[in-house]
Structures are given as structure tokens and as C-alpha cells.
Amino acid sequence: MGLVSLFIGLTFVNNVVLSKFYAVCPLLGVSKKPKNALNMGYAVTFVIFVASIVTYVLYYQVLKPLKITYLDLITFILVIASLVQFVEMFLKKTSPEIYKSMGVYLPLITTNCAVLGVALDNISAGYSFIEAAVAGLAVPIGFTIVIYLFATIRERLEIANVPESFKGTPIALITAGIMACALAGIAGLV
Amino acid sequence: MKKIDIFKKGLFVENPIFVLLLGLCSSLAITTSLTNAIGMGIAVLCVLIMSNVIISLLRKIIPNEIRIPVFIVIIATLVKCVQMLMNAFTPALYESLGVFIPLIVVNCIILGRAESFASKNGVFDSLLDAMGMGLGYTFAVLVISFFRELIGTGGLSLFNPFDASQVIFQFEVFGDYAVSLFTQPAGAFITLGCILAFIQFLKVKKANKAKKVEGK
């Protein structure tokens, strides 16, 4: 039961994008086409899931016994950078189309706050290994849901009659604000 | 380009938050109060100055193929130093900024400036660029947090970052009519959206004026 509520809590109630502002950059950058948004979501899901497990194991099996926990940031960011490089090479080989359509945003997953944020949160919240793995799955799923919904809304905003000053990013940010209000509404769930 | 232009560019014309839309993650999260905004602004400024100077010094040694990992390791080291210093000297601020101090590592502004400016320009220019961009970031988070704190709590306050019990100023304007939504995440998005709309409004107005002059 604890794991289920952790999962739902991290996916919806404390959605990382809309309550902690992790990964706002790709949200505004990639999410103009729903299809690209979904691809981005899959790539991020893989990276976050693997990264949260690897960094957790590294922290408790290597850094802590050696008493060099102050090296956590450097270790984590290197793990993440190599994972992203791996995804990039994999996509380039298997589906060049997706690789092309994601363009510069693929290497930028490295600087996606959500990846490092989840790795650091897992440690500071004192999760067990299973909990860290669940968090590593729940957070990117929440991210994917939000970025997909946001992309579909933005597609409609393109043809909507928006005041000139609000066109583009401002209206997108206000949309995100209203989505955050909506998600705050289910805060009592967990 | 004149030296002063490099500095001014970061402050207004290419303001990292309002114009380039970089580093939104931290700037939305920590702008709940002026004290947090100043602390975060100074932390980013310090990291940016040091990373730009170090990378510019090393730019001829770093092989081109692996420059991004090298930059990230340098930045991560600097951020860890700042994090440890803040933990030691400004514990209250460290507590309230929380995970967003280590997340400076993945702040696009710092890596972006390293990649697009410091790795191509001399040490002094890079220093000026870092100061301009860093102050531009500080200015932007201060503006956002000013509106969020004023509307969200109905007043403004500023504490000494080195000693949380020392109040620099604190006053209330319309405490009864505060809209607490603005201290919440949703308020951050809406505040930034409105500020960007205002900037766009000014730009459109300027463009229209220029058109009219041309038409005559």
C-alpha cells in the first residue's frame, strides 16, 4: 500500500513538473507536437529510471562506505551524462527519424533538472531501494503525462485567438499555471 | 564589441530568464520570498563567474570532443563548494533553498555560457559576460519574487542571509487581501507568464512605432 500511494503521490499530487518545477525547459521547448512530447517522455522515463537505480546503488555501496559522499554531485552527473549519451547512440542506430525530430533536446536531457533532482531526492528523503526504484518510475510517468497534455493544449492554442502580448510563451506559462491549480485540487488523495 | 556591451547584454538585451528563457526551473521554484531570491541569485552569480573564468583559462587545453563532460565536472565541483559553504555560513537559507542549490549544476545558463561564450573568448571578456548574465539572473528572480511575495503574502520582508533572526525590513501593505495562490507553484507560472506578456507588449509597441515612422 505504501508503494502504491508513493507512486500515485509522485505521479499526480506532487507532480515534479507542476509542483517542483523540475524540467520546465523541455516542457516549453519540446511540447509543440504531441508526438515529439511522447518520444521525449519515453527517453526521459528510461534515463530517470536507470539513473535513479544506479545513483542509489553507487551512493550507498561506494560513496558512503568510502566516506566521500561530498562527491555525490559529480558522480551523479557523470552517470546521467553517460546514460543520455547511450540513449542518443541507441536512437541514432535504431530510429533515426525520432533522433532527428528531437534534435538538440535529446542531449539536453543531461541538463534536465528532473533527472538529477530525482537522484538527489531519493537520497535526501531516505528511501529504501524499492522506494527509490518506484520513485524513478513514478516521476517520469508524471512528467510524460504532463508534457503530453500540455502539448495537445498548445496545439489548440496555436489556432486560438490569443491577445498579441500573450502569444507564444506567456500564454503557455499561464496554461501551465492553470494545470498546476488543477493538480493541486487532488492533493487530498494521498 | 566594447567591453561594457558584453556586460550590459546579459543584464537586459539577453536577460537569461526574461529573454532567453534559460534556468526557469530554479527561478520559478525559489522565488517565494525576496530573501530566497537574493540568496539564489548570489549563488548562481558566484558559480557562473568562477566557471566562466576557469573554462576560459582552460579552453585551449580541453579537447573539443569531450568538452561538455569536462565543463559539467568543473561546474559540479564549483556548485558542491558553494553548497558546502552555504551549509556552513547561511544554514537558514540552505534549508529553504534545499535541493535547488545542487540543481544549479543543471541550470542551463551556466553550461550555456560556458559552451557559447567562455570556450571561445578571453578571460576578461568571460568574466564580464558572467557578471552580466549572473546579475541579469539575480535581477529577474528579484522581480518575480517581488510580485509573488507582495501579492501572495500582502507584504515584503528581507532577512539577513547570514543570520535569519536579523530582519532588514519587513512591512505589510494589504495583509487581509493576500492571494495565497501566488506563493504556490501555480502562482509562479502565472506571474512569469504575465511578466513575459508585459515585455512582449513593450516590444510589439516599439515595433509598431518603428513601422509607423517607416510608413511616413
* A interface test, pick of B189, B191, B204 with most A CB neighbours within 10 Å: B189
Which residue of chain A has the CA closest to B73? A74
A113 to chain B, any CB pair closer than 8 A? The answer is yes
Q: How far is CA B205 from the centre of its chain?
A: 27
pLDDT band at A40 (very low <50, low <70, confident <90, very high): confident
Tens-place pLDDT, residues A93-138: 888 888 887 777 777 788 788 888 889 888 988 889 999 999 999 9
Q: Determine contact, residues B80/A70, Cβ cutoff 8 Å.
A: yes
CA B186 to CA B210: how far, in whole Å? Answer: 36
Question: Model pTM greater than 0.95?
Answer: no
Report the residue from B25, B190, B194 with minimal CB separation from A22. B25
Amino acid letter, A3: L
pLDDT band at A190 (very low <50, low <70, confident <90, very high): low
Number of domains in chain A: 1
Question: What's the domain range around A69?
Answer: 2-189
Q: For residue B25, give Cα distances in angstroms to A33, A67, B59, B124, B216.
A: 22, 31, 28, 29, 45
Look at B99 and A184 and tell me if their CB atoms are within 8 Å: no
- From chain B residues 118-157, the ones with a CB under 8 A of any chain A CB are none
CA B168 to CA A111: how far, in whole Å? Answer: 36
The mean pLDDT value of chain B amounts to 86
Mean pLDDT of the region A26-33: 76
What confidence score (pLDDT) does residue B54 get?
93
Q: Quick check: helix, strand or coil at residue B12? A: helix
CA A87 to CA B70: how far, in whole Å? Answer: 20
Distance in Å, alpha carbon of A171 to nearest chain B alpha carbon: 6
What confidence score (pLDDT) does residue B1 get?
58
Domain residue ranges in chain B: 3-140
What cell numbers appear for A56 in the block? 542509489
